[in-house]
Structures are given as structure tokens and as C-alpha cells.
Structure 1
Amino acid sequence: MRVTLLGTGDTTGTPTPGCDCDTCTAARERGVERTRFSVYVESESGETLLLDASPDLRHQLLREGLAPPDAAVITHIHFDHLDGLGNAYRLVDALPVFAADETDPETGESVAETVARKYDYLDALDVRPVAPGETFRVSGLDVTLVPVVHPPLACYGVVVEDPETGGKLAVTGDTNYAIPDASRDALRGADLLLADAIVPASLAPHHPLGGDHRDADGVPRTFGTKHMTREGALALADELDAANARFVHLAHYYPADEAFADPLAVDGETYDL
């Protein structure tokens, strides 16, 4: 399968509109961007799957020369992962959308129910609830949602396996470092791990809640409560024995001299698994 990183940024992206910080300036000078998060996967059969629907989806597909996907998976209901589904209007005749069926105590709905309610005006969308931890087949790929921790909302990582090549893609989703053990086991051993790493750990003191899940040296592996730091993502990638790890959901708060160094991803990267 071929994996294309459509969007590797956080909720404001890089460059951030109206921002002239050193990192946004460097991104413009380099001609790179980190739009809101989405991943596009093409199976050996040529069928395609979208992991999260960025509000930048139209731009992302045009930029990469890709057709609208055959199906989609939504990990949670934050707008930067969901609102691109509106692009289904007049672009596709039918789009199966897979999302978790577990009721979120915060909203009183499952992710699938929220998606169906929010987009009830789009006849093209066919929302299909799935149970986390249970593998389903879509676009010629085996897909599993795995619970992660992104308070206060229910959120899920995604494991995608290609039965033809044996390739395995693991996406942490938006999460702090306290990913449940069962989910870590499901994410383990990927050919490519895409891990949330919103900022370096050095910026944790700037968050109102500081950092959490500190390592033995006191380095926070969680920024605030919702996202991993770069150091948290590095520790997770090492623990999960990923053959290759790329970090995503990146904020423009990375210092410019660190913002484009490996393993921090930028839009447009492609991987064959």
C-alpha cells in the first residue's frame, strides 16, 4: 500500500495565517506546509482510504494530484479531523465513513453518531459504526480502531494492514502518552508509525497545565493533557519497535532550527509498505 501524508499540522497549521514567527517564515521560504491532519492510503487493488478528513482536504487532494477517496475513517470529532467531510458534496456519489460505535460520556454520542448527525444533509455519506478493537475490511485493507487518550473526548488510533503486501501502518491519533497497553500492542511492530508530537518537551512550561507522564529524567512526554511531546513520541516509537516513525500534528511553536528536522514530517511525504 502507498501512504501519502496529506496533512501533518495541528489545528492552525504551518505556516499559520497571519503569523510571521521564525518557523512560519522558514516554512514559506522552504515552500513546505503542514496543513490540518489527514492521511491517504491506496491499497494494491487501487482502492483508497482516507484517515481523518482535514478541513484542508480539497487543497490537499489538488496539491497531491489525488482523486477523492473511496472510503474514510474518522478518529474523533474535533473539527480539524472531521470537517473535511463536507467536501463529499458533489465530489462523490457515495462515501462510506467508518467511526467508533462506543458512546462518549462527554457528548452522549458515539463518534459515528456525531458524524451522522452533523452531516445528515449529505446523502453521499454512509456512516458505518464499528467496534474498537475489531478489524474490518475496507478498500482492500484491514483496519482496526484502537482507543487512545485525548481528553475530554473519546479518540482512537488506527492500524491499517495490507493483506497483499503484509505492510502495516499505525497511527496514534491525537493522544497523550498514556495509551492503553492493549492499544500499544495493536500499534506495535508497524512498518510506519505516525505519532502525534505537537511540540518539543521544552515548551511544556508554557502550557497552563505544564507537562505530564515524565520520564526518569523528568522530561514530560505529554504536553498539557491532550498531546504527546516530541520526546514522548520518540519514547513511544522506540517502545513499539516501529521500523520507521514520522511525527505529525505538529504546531508552529517548534523552534525554527528544530522544526524541519527528522523525524518531523511535512505534507506530501509518501511511503510504500
Structure 2
Amino acid sequence: MKITLLGTGDAIGTPKIGCSCPTCLDAIAGGKSRRLRFSVLIESESGKVLIDTSPDLRWQLLKKGISRIDGVIWTHAHYDHYAGFGDFHRIQNGVNVYGLKNTLDYVLNYLYFMKPVRHDVIIYEPFSLIGLNFTLLEVTHPPLEESAAVLITDGSKKVVITGDTSKNIPEKTLKAMFEPDLLIADAIIPPRAIIAKHMNSKEAMELGRELNARNVILTHLSHKFPPHNESIKEWPLGYDGMEFEY
């Protein structure tokens, strides 16, 4: 199993339009502060799956040399997590898409013209794709009524992607997440502030300790962090193109 962080940015990405903060300037100069919007690529010997389809998906796929995928899993119905699916127009027809019912209802109302093959997923019920086991887990991302984390297992290896969530995660989900080899955690801002629908970096690291995660990487990051090479002295920030293999 190979995991690639295609995009580690929040909804607006970094650099932010019109911003000249140190982080955005580092991003403009080509540093690791440059962050496309959130997507994760999961690969096995049997195929490729995308977790969410960033508005920046076209460039992400071109950078990776990818022209076909075997499935898309949507975690929730926010623009920055599904809008890039349209980049498969005239590239690949009949893409298999997976998600919770309300998420798919909303997303496919917008992307109906792509004629994807819909697969409704039941929360906490595993399903197989490209030889790996996936499970969608309930998290909280107000004001949405429905948002999911993704649990991926391959034999004894376990990867958790929290998706967009506050620290208020149901106990059943925490038990399912426990002791991952890799926790890819939503952490939109440094700990000096709190956003009700996301974790900050302090909360995400606390979650990693609670779950006894072997490795924690923070993602869905805003330009509010210091430039990447400064931030990683304190927090394990992910960066676009970062890869893990298990």
C-alpha cells in the first residue's frame, strides 16, 4: 500500500490570493509552503483510489502522471473535497464513486453530467477496493450532518485519514481508529486559535497520542502556519507529494 498526499492545503490553498504573509511568499517562491487543495492517492498492486477530488485535481494528476483511477471516495460534501472530479471529463467515463448517501446525493447533483457509477457506503461497514479494505467512520464537521474519516487496512497495516473533523469524534470511531500505523490528521491552524469545525495542530497531536498512532502527519493546512521549514520544527506537517509505503 502506497499513500501520496496530493494536496495538503485547506479550502483556499496556499498561497492565498492577495496575501503577502511569509508563508504565502514562501509558497509563491516554490517552497513547501505551497499547498494545493486536499486529495490523497491510495495505491496497491491492483489499482489507484482517490480520497476526495480537490479543485486542483488536474494539476495533481498531471504531476503524478496519472490518467486513470479505479475509484473515488468522498468524505463529505464540501467544494474543496469534490469539485475537481470534473477534470475526468473526456478522460475517463464511468468512474466508480463511493461515499455516504447524503454526501453522494449532494455531490452527484452537481456532477451528474460525469455519469459516475455510484456506490452507497454504510457507515462503519468495510468494503473492498483495489485489494484493500476501506471503512468510513463518523466524525463531526459542523454544520454538515454527515462527514467521514477513512480507515484503510492491508493485512496488519492500518492507515487512518481523519477527514475534516472537529476534536469531537464519536467513541465508536475512536475505537476503530486505535493504533494506526499512520494517522493523517486534519489540523487547519496552529494552536493559538480554535475553529469549531476543524482541529488545530495541538488537538490533532492530542488525538494522535490518544490513538497511540505510530506516525502522525498533519494536513488540510492553512497559510496561518509559519513557513513550512519553520513549522516542521514544532509540528509534523505534511507537504504536497509526500509519500508513505506499507
TM-score normalised according to structure 2 size: 0.94
What residue ranges of structure 1 are gaps of 5+ in the alignment?
Answer: 102-109, 205-222
For each residue in 1:66-108, what CA deviation from the matched residue of structure 2 results, as whole angstroms up to 9, or x when unmatched?
A: 333210100101000010111121111221100112xxxxxxx
> Would you say 1:22 and 2:10 are equivalent positions?
no
Q: What is the 5 A alignment of 1:148-159?
A: 148-153=139-144, 154-159=146-151
**Structure 2 match to 1:43:** 44
Determine helix, strand or coil for the equivalent of 2:140.
strand
* Bigger shift: residues 245-254 or 113-122: 113-122
For each residue in 1:35-71, what CA deviation from the matched residue of structure 2 results, as whole angstroms up to 9, or x when unmatched?
A: 10000000133x1110011000010111223333210
> Would you say 1:198 and 2:188 are equivalent positions?
yes
* Bigger shift: residues 54-63 or 84-93: 84-93
Q: Distance in 1 between matches of 2:231 and 2:17?
A: 17
**Structure 2 match to 1:171:** 161
Contact 1:61–1:68 (CA under 8 A) maintained in structure 2: no
**Structure 2 match to 1:227:** 198
Q: What is the 5 A alignment of 1:1-273?
A: 1-32=1-32, 33-45=34-46, 47-101=47-101, 110-123=102-115, 125-153=116-144, 154-163=146-155, 166-202=156-192, 204=193, 223-256=194-227, 258-261=230-233, 262-273=235-246
Q: Distance in 1 between matches of 2:242 and 2:88?
A: 24
* Bigger shift: residues 71-80 or 247-256: 247-256
Contact 2:74–2:81 (CA under 8 A) maintained in structure 1: yes
For each residue in 1:119-163, what CA deviation from the matched residue of structure 2 results, as whole angstroms up to 9, or x when unmatched?
A: 21112x112111010000112211000010100101110001124
Q: Distance in 2 between matches of 1:82 and 1:74?
A: 7
- CA shift, 1:260, in A, is 4.3
Q: Distance in 2 between matches of 1:156 and 1:170?
A: 11
Count how many residue pairs are aligned between Structure 1 and Structure 2: 242
TM-align CA RMSD: 1.5
For each residue in 1:228-260, what CA deviation from the matched residue of structure 2 results, as whole angstroms up to 9, or x when unmatched?
A: 010000100011111111000000011337434
AA paired with 1:55? Answer: P
Contact 1:115–1:127 (CA under 8 A) maintained in structure 2: no
The structure having more radius of gyration, on CA atoms, is 1
Determine helix, strand or coil for the equivalent of 1:201.
coil
- CA shift, 1:20, in A, is 1.3
Contact 1:149–1:178 (CA under 8 A) maintained in structure 2: yes
Contact 1:75–1:157 (CA under 8 A) maintained in structure 2: yes
Q: Distance in 1 between matches of 2:66 and 2:25?
A: 28
Contact 1:144–1:158 (CA under 8 A) maintained in structure 2: yes
Q: Distance in 1 between matches of 2:180 and 2:70?
A: 24
For each residue in 1:17-46, what CA deviation from the matched residue of structure 2 results, as whole angstroms up to 9, or x when unmatched?
A: 33211111123335332110000000133x
Change (3 A) 1:229 1:258: farther
Change (3 A) 1:260 1:25: farther
AA paired with 1:143? Answer: F
Q: Distance in 2 between matches of 1:264 and 1:95?
A: 31
